[in-house]
Amino acid sequence: MSRTRKPTAPPSTPVAPAASAAEATGAAKAPLSRAQRALIASRLTEAEQLCNDRGTLLTPLRREVLKLLLERGGAAKAYDLHDDMRNAHGRVAPMTVYRALDFLIQMQLVHRVASLNVFIACSHGEAASPDHSHDALMLVCTRCDKVVEQAAHEVAGKLSAELVERFGFTAQGIEVKGLCRECAAKQP
Ligand SMILES: [Zn+2]
Ligand SMILES: [Zn+2]
């Protein structure tokens, strides 16, 4: 996973064949089960509702970016989403994907995990506070690069408050590095 980002292609450049692009990332998507598709559909409906409640719009493009992220199991690099977008819809400027991600981050439907430079779909949907603002707590496995957002607002909230109080530091999402359960179990 050390692929460097491809230079931005001008709109007139022919799109690379879909299959080779997916293979190059080494992150081809596994086929989704019916249950997974149903779950994604309900997450998208929740996201639409949430945007409506906040007086904004989950446009078809923003919805598509969120859908592709969910289809990747919830976490992906921006250029992987761009590849998915091109594979599904042909030519799309990378900036289009970034803008959609920015919007989704603002809505807290997506979080950016700075330590891995990946984006992850928020895992608690409307279960968060009514305005859907929350302190995201990300557990980042340093061995398999898996990221899990835990619905541990209490832990994250306490830590955030403590950081402000003691160090005057305002946390914007908390990322904890370590080993996931599976990797810890494999430890010698
Ligand atoms: Zn979240
Ligand atoms: Zn792991």
Ligand 1 centre from 83 Cα, in Å? 24
Spatial neighbors of 124 by CB under 8 A, at least 6 apart, are 134, 149, 151
pTM reported for the whole predicted model: 0.75
* pLDDT value of residue 134: 75
Give ∠ CA 138-140-146 in degrees, rounded to 5: 110
Average pLDDT value for the chain: 82
Least confident span in 33-37, 58-62, 85-89, 170-174: 170-174
Choosing among 3.30.430.20, 1.10.10.10, 3.40.50.720, 1.20.1050.10, the CATH entry for 15-126 is: 1.10.10.10
Q: Per CATH, which fold does 135-188 belong to?
A: Dna Ligase; domain 1 (3.30.1490)
Ligand 1 centre from 55 Cα, in Å? 20
Strand, coil or helix: 57: coil
Ligand 2 centre from 141 Cα, in Å? 5
Beta pairing class for 147-150 and 137-141: antiparallel
Summarize pLDDT for 99-133 with one digit per residue, the tens: 999 999 999 899 999 989 999 998 875 544 555 56
Q: How far is CA 50 from CA 53, 100, 168, in A?
A: 5, 16, 32
Summarize pLDDT for 48-76 with one digit per residue, the tens: 999 998 899 999 999 999 999 999 988 89
What's the rounded Cα separation, in Å, for the pair 152 and 150?
Answer: 5
Provide the 8-state DSSP code for 125. Answer: G
180 vs 123, higher pLDDT: 180
Q: Show the DSSP H helices in 3-132 as ranges.
A: 18-25, 34-53, 60-71, 78-89, 94-106
Domain boundaries, the chain: 15-126, 135-188
